Chains A and B, each alone.
Chain A
């Protein structure tokens, strides 16, 4: 624990905004001139986030030790005001936010240190640190957002940082395409987020009282749940409407957290440098969707606070994604893409957790996943770095001799993500699957199967990369200490954090045959919910057993296929030319053809059709009418110009005719 007094701890909580401000300031400084010096850029950037980590830990300590006695701290300043309403931005620190702050700052710090090793040779070194700082600031801003509007703002900011970083090597055509795809797909989600939020605002606008508009928590019944309740009581909101709003807003998380059908950008995002894949596209930003659902959870419930259709939608989308991504990951050959698909799949697990009511399970998985997935990606970066840019696992193998540290860390990450007992992924995944079994057994079993598939593709990756004989042509070597130390540090939480969410004391009664419905509180859930949390579930030994069995099965198949090479399913599938096997393999290898469908629709159908319509309407109708008017005027002018012939008698005739005409008109018109 940090050596701070109670007063100091309080100060830290009340100045949480500094955590957000520091990286922004660092990014700004680097852009405005510090970039000239590589070392200074790195120092400023790392310093800002290191400060953030210390500050976050102090906040955590303050909340745990109750040095800060209230359940949350909130501060808002108006950002847009009018007589109709005021939108504000501010800082909200509660237990969930405190945890996320630690996750973001710690992973970001390690990734930034790692970057020093990874990007040392790159001419864009300083620029990279500028983007990293801006990203970290935006992500932290998202974490401490007090209301949906502010979250939308930072939501877009992290998106744009991701865009910059995916397209960091702008001269690569594939990177240029990938960053644009990522941004546009995310914008589609943001569109839903935006209209969902304004619709929600329309029906609740009279009920925010003194609290921040669209705020998550607030004094005197201005928190999200109470406002929804009040609006429902006043008849402004009902369950179906709220479900509609929830589904619209959920488009945001679907895009940001790469859920079916808006997941297509994430695998392509691997075009960015590997530290980015670790920080943004694995550990932090992609978890923002999960964080949003957790934050604004009442929107996904019924108006009376019970679980409803919207949560089922969340769970179903999560389940589809988890399963789909796992099937795809089994046939990919790019080390980073396999990891990207696994991220997709694990995010699906988190949504399943939130969707089936395992609220803490979802967040717990987010927490564990951030550490082990960041480590896996950094390991893959070390591998790619050691092989001078090679990413194809068919060109790897036997790397455990030349890269022992990367090897051991990768193995730990693999064990963790596959849900092997005692590693962190095991506990959170079990919690999710257990809850899913209760509410939606089909989803539960699907997740169980997916867990087995996860073990299979992760060990496939591990065996093909680190065991056997080296198949490539580079000279693999271990990376510099700046890269290996972050790996080793991340290995610790990847092994240990699981125990935070599991109370060993629950194991005893469970083994004795007690019902798993009630148990003693565990640290993680107790911290998230506070002492008055709902109820805590005990250990479910049967479920654990089954899930371990599935995991082992996946491991065994991978072992037989890729290490001892006694099984040859993979060849049967990959080399089959027709029939079911071929179909399944191609489906998986071609990522369920989602990209082809999307690009087909946009490039072949929408754009050409639109081009024709636009040409027709704009060129023919709009221009045509206007030019037609011009033509008429000109032809009239052609006729009328004969009137101006300069002959005096002609003009006199016209004047005479006009006077006569006016006289005649005034004669026939009735007088007033």
Chain B
């Protein structure tokens, strides 16, 4: 095989930065075109990186690039690389960003230059998070995302944008502080060999004392579940989504939430597996609770964007459930869920935005149903989005759910003597989400599209435009493709999941905490 091409990842990372600069130096009218060009370039480049990636070594970091800046008093370096999991998310970032740029038609003449520059900056930080192999760099990128996001919501948001953007900022910043605390604490406890190099932390962290691991991991864990988000720190999400403009909601749900789940897998699970061995059942319970609680919350909302936002909380619960179960299959399902939810939620937010642009309301009672008459094409896309969200086989949502359910139920957690039955109970509970999701999604679809049209809409509404169709078709086809043949994605990251599960297995064997139940069936009366 040819030697690895050099600097690919750096170019990819610099591209949005360059774009932000170029856009801010260009006239207002050219901003959108430039953004589309750069977005397309970024997606193309990420696809090219995908082709350069050696799948047979999927668990190793590839295309690595490392430049040291200074070593004392603590090492600061630029260090990027991808393995199968981060690569999947990088490609997702390229794709969803391009879609969001295309969907930004509603921005119109409202300061497009600033808008697209901010959007590019946001992409830069998201890519930085997925590419970073240095923890300090990871942290900086993770925090950097706050700035453009705050402005994107605060300037182009809805009526309550000030409240929502501040709430978003405070929650996420709070998480950032916790992460910083965990990071510094971990660094100081490592003594002479201290490093921020994520590749070596994976092997070094598990040898730290148990209580140190617990404290350090807790800092990271809290930061990530705020971002995920998980009960009880999820309330920033519905507000932020409701106020954010459509393309920003797509990015928020499609990409920013994935930073939380990515961190959860890469850092919490990768560095501190014993945390999960000890508290796995509780985390799984939290995940299951998220799935059901958020789904139930959706049943009584009146704002359609809020429903989709809360359904994100519900679906990210699958990530918690899958990650904490410590089985390779469930972990794989959780990673699949990240990508799949990224695409599905982007589609759904896009469709909500498309309806909102026409009706200027998101309140279900005001819409009153019957929109299918004048927007048949949007109706079909909505159907597909709905079905994907409720986990219909053949669409990507199902793969993740099935893998998480099958994987977690046969995981070491669910078969352990100590908490096995509790964990099984929680998985049964989580499966209730299957019914609830169908309930609220179909109810939403019915309230918007089925039934008789209200008089006030007669003749006022239009069907999907050309740009909208491009976005909707692209997202729909990827959902369909991932759902029909999921292995095309799984093959990339499966080695990562397998390796992590294997690493954890050694920890389980050391601690004897999760000895499986003796091979005797529990008899049920």
Contact = CB atoms under 8 A, between A and B. Distances in A.
Contacts of A194: 405, 431, 434
Contacts of B486: 79-80
B170 interface: yes
A84 interface: yes
Counting chain B CB atoms within 10 Å of each CB, the highest count among A31, A78, A190, A626 belongs to A626
B296 A184 contact: no
A181 to B, nearest CB: 9
B300 A176 contact: no
A191 B443 contact: no
Given A171-B452, A236-B521, A241-B522, A187 B297 contact: no
A188 B432 CA distance: 8
Counting chain B CB atoms within 10 Å of each CB, the highest count among A81, A175, A238 belongs to A81
A167 B451 CA distance: 10
B490 A81 contact: yes
B188 interface: no
Given A80-B403, A626-B235, A195 B523 contact: no
Contacts of A549: none
B410 interface: yes
A184 B439 contact: yes
B519 A236 contact: yes
A526 interface: no
A198 interface: yes
Interface in A80-120: 80-85, 87
A176 B497 CA distance: 43
Nearest to A82: B329
Interface in B365-414: 369-370, 372-373, 379-380, 383, 387, 392-394, 398-399, 402-403, 405-407, 409-411, 414
Given A83-B501, A184-B442, A240-B525, A190 B434 contact: yes
Interface residues of A, number: 62
A562 interface: no
Given A183-B442, A607-B300, A235 B431 contact: no
A160 B409 contact: no
Interface string B412-424: 0011000000001
Contacts of B370: 171
A157 interface: yes
B402 A154 contact: no
A241 B442 contact: no
Interface residues of B, number: 69
B137 interface: no
Contacts of A191: 431-432, 434-435
Contacts of A184: 435, 438-439, 442
Contacts of B485: 79
B435 A188 contact: yes
A128 to B, nearest CB: 14
Contacts of B394: 153, 157
B487 A610 contact: no
A83 B498 contact: yes
Contacts of B501: 83-84
A202 interface: yes
Given A176-B451, A238-B521, A618-B235, A610 B427 contact: no
A167 B392 contact: no
Contacts of A622: 231-232, 235
Contact of B414 (A163, A176, A202, A618): A202
Interface residues of B: mostly helix, strand, loop or mixed? helix
B169 interface: no
Contact of A167 (B233, B369, B415, B450): B450
B452 A201 contact: no
A156 interface: yes
A610 B402 contact: no
Contacts of B450: 167, 170-171, 173, 175-176
B438 to A, nearest CB: 4
A29 interface: no
B446 interface: yes
Contacts of B494: 81-82
Contact of B452 (A152, A173, A190, A244): A173
Interface in A149-182: 149, 152-154, 156-157, 160, 163-164, 167, 170-173, 175-177, 179-180
A79 B494 CA distance: 13
B428 interface: yes
B442 A198 contact: no
Given A83-B502, A173-B451, A234-B519, A160 B300 contact: no
A84 B372 contact: no
Contacts of B46: none
Contacts of A154: 393
Contacts of A472: none
B262 to A, nearest CB: 19
Interface string A274-292: 0000000000000000000
B455 to A, nearest CB: 14
A156 B451 contact: no
A199 interface: yes
B449 interface: yes
B392 A614 contact: no
B139 to A, nearest CB: 23
Contacts of B387: 160
Contacts of B428: 195
A80 B523 contact: no
A628 interface: no
Given A191-B432, A618-B297, A238 B523 contact: yes
Contacts of B392: 156-157, 160
A179 B372 CA distance: 15
B433 to A, nearest CB: 9
Interface in A19-53: 31
Contacts of A618: 235, 297
A237 interface: yes
B410 A180 contact: no
Interface in B260-311: 296-297, 299-300
Contacts of A172: 451
Interface in A187-228: 187-188, 190-191, 194-195, 198-199, 201-203, 205
B355 to A, nearest CB: 16
B327 interface: yes
Contact of B438 (A153, A187, A611, A614): A187
Counting chain A CB atoms within 10 Å of each CB, the highest count among B398, B406, B409 belongs to B406
B524 interface: yes
B329 A170 contact: no
B443 A156 contact: no
A421 B92 CA distance: 65
A180 B443 contact: yes
Interface in B487-525: 487, 490, 494, 497-498, 501-502, 519-525
Contact of B409 (A87, A188, A201, A237): A201
Contacts of A170: 372, 379, 449-451
A630 B414 contact: no
Contacts of B522: 241
A156 B405 CA distance: 16
B249 interface: no
Given A241-B522, A621-B232, 19 more contacts: A81-B487, A82-B328, A84-B328, A153-B394, A156-B393, A156-B398, A157-B393, A170-B449, A170-B451, A171-B452, A187-B439, A195-B427, A195-B428, A201-B410, A202-B424, A236-B520, A241-B521, A607-B300, A630-B170
Top 4 nearest A-B pairs by Cβ distance?
A: A176-B450, A153-B393, A82-B329, A198-B409
14 contacts: A80-B403, A84-B407, A87-B403, A171-B372, A180-B442, A195-B428, A198-B409, A198-B410, A201-B409, A205-B410, A238-B521, A611-B300, A614-B296, A621-B232
Interface of A: 31, 78-85, 87, 149, 152-154, 156-157, 160, 163-164, 167, 170-173, 175-177, 179-180, 183-184, 187-188, 190-191, 194-195, 198-199, 201-203, 205, 234-238, 240-241, 244, 607, 610-611, 614, 618, 621-623, 625-626, 630
